[in-house]
Chain A
């Protein structure tokens, strides 16, 4: 653990015999004023040229996504490649992929908060934003895959003239509640964390229009301790509520599969395996976005330090290994369970006509993260960025392997059919990346991407006993 750059934390001098020296959370002894100035200046500065160029790429992609969705709604589900045994294909694959990415944000904001991992403070805001935007992308698919999207309100338990009610024991209805609760609570958590930082922007800005908008959204925050008292309690409670929530969301998503009777889906391992996979893929996306951000704003490296990236790589290594264990355990149980249909399903996944998907998944999710055992791979940010692209790709393939290749081989061999995506499938999926990146670019342009007040609170001088002898 002991870094060459590490200095002894002045707040708590290590007692004799204690060898662990923690690296500082903020490098170069930055002050509170610097943190406000620097993070706010990113928002306050003139819009950089690269931002327009990036938007010039992502906005057309986003519009392409919307066009494809309009085409889908106006024509019908037949424009997708879904066929008879493969009733769920890229739509649910992409849904699970995007919702999984969101999980790292909530993990950072909630679970690492409860476990008092102070290093989370400099990455939680951007990760939470990523969560929201990923859930927005995810939400498109279940809403539109129903076909007649104007009938989607049937999922909600509303009294209607037909006196029909939804089946509350269906995992698809659980999904509706789980995903909508997850999105709502994520928005609340994110906005609550933003209030003090919006107040910072309000107090700094010079233009009337900006002052008006930041002022409205800061809700008149004054930073009095009588306010902080309730604020901190609210934040703690939201973290406490989000922790079981984030674990439940992907568990409920996995119930969509696990409660069915399809060989290869009907497995009790699914909830923990899906949650680990979601955190794995989510952290990969956090690093995918944060490392370029530190290249654009080099001083961010004082806040997002090598120690932060190192820790995230270790989480990727851990969760990637859990996912690898789950893959092997699935295979073992398929063999050990002695069910010929289960065995056939797994044989088909690995060696069937779509078997190459399985091996892409294995390579990306199990082999690639093992490089993070080496410190060099965790500290060379080019290596990190390249390595985390593997989980990004691999986690998509994992969902396709579970959904697509399993359904291709039905109980009835006469109905077996391979899945081929249509051009609409492909363009819609690429388009969701445009939507995701557009929202993220808007976020870094107009909102502070680092939680200023929390980073200030982890500085040594934020301690009311700073400099006193113990």
Chain B
């Protein structure tokens, strides 16, 4: 039984270690079935099918990126047509600046749509993940360093309505979790 962090600070979670992706997957199925809400599994790589096992919905990010792309497209349309048609009509080779020459404006519309979508994808992902956040209670636990190597972890957080330090710990033990730890906030 490890105690990670300062014991005087509030309790963050009870955590356990697993050896393989399969064990973690099985544990996730059981934790979900037990009705916990505030918990997460930690792994060195994304595990196929884990979202379904945890009962997580599809990421919101796709919709955000659509909006980002739309903003990029509208930016490109205004950026090109306002100067080219209103502010500074530039007649090259006798070609007018009306809708008939729109195809010549497509490449920049395409590029800015992609650019703003990509920015939204990366920064949207960081915001949805609450990153950057350089300190986190999980980092108080020395063993947790292995999460980026080859170990798998489960943490059931104290803010879960069903959480109780004693019974949650026993529950994680019955799932086959090893090296159980109580993790404090500070």
Contact = CB atoms under 8 A, between A and B. Distances in A.
Interface of A: 31-33, 36, 157, 163-165, 167-171, 173-174, 177-178, 181, 184-185, 188-189, 191-192, 196, 199-200, 202-204, 215-216, 219-234, 237-238, 241-242, 244-245, 248, 252, 255, 453-454, 456-457, 461-468
B45 A454 contact: yes
A191 B101 CA distance: 38
Contacts of A456: 44-45, 150
Contact of A234 (B42, B84, B108, B124): B124
Size bracket, chain B contacts: 35 or more
B175 interface: no
B50 A220 contact: no
Contacts of B56: 225-226, 229
B148 A200 contact: yes
22 contacts: A36-B148, A167-B84, A174-B107, A181-B111, A185-B114, A185-B118, A191-B122, A192-B122, A216-B134, A224-B40, A228-B46, A229-B56, A230-B129, A231-B125, A231-B129, A238-B121, A244-B114, A245-B111, A255-B107, A463-B22, A465-B22, A466-B20
B112 A223 contact: no
Nearest to B113: A241
B105 interface: yes
Interface of B: 20-22, 24-25, 28, 40-51, 53-54, 56, 58-62, 65, 79-80, 83-84, 87-88, 90, 92, 95, 101, 104-105, 107-108, 110-112, 114-115, 117-119, 121-122, 124-126, 128-129, 131-136, 138-139, 145-150
Given A174-B108, A237-B65, A241-B117, A457 B46 contact: yes
A152 B114 CA distance: 24
B185 to A, nearest CB: 15
Contact of A165 (B20, B48, B90, B139): B90
A184 B148 contact: no
A222 B42 contact: yes
Contacts of B146: 203
Nearest to B69: A241
User: Top 3 nearest A-B pairs by Cβ distance?
Assistant: A464-B25, A234-B125, A32-B150
A167 B92 contact: yes
Given A32-B150, A215-B134, 7 more contacts: A36-B148, A157-B80, A157-B83, A185-B114, A225-B41, A225-B46, A464-B22
Nearest to B89: A165
A178 B107 contact: yes
B73 to A, nearest CB: 13
A304 B50 CA distance: 28
Contacts of A169: 84, 90, 92, 95, 101, 104-105
Contact of A462 (B47, B121, B139, B147): B47
B22 A237 contact: no
Nearest to A456: B45
Contact of A225 (B40, B115, B128, B139): B40
A199 B122 contact: no
A466 B21 contact: yes
Contact of B22 (A252, A255, A466): A466
Contact of A464 (B21, B118, B126, B150): B21
B20 A230 contact: no
B121 A168 contact: no
A231 B130 CA distance: 12
A233 B124 CA distance: 10
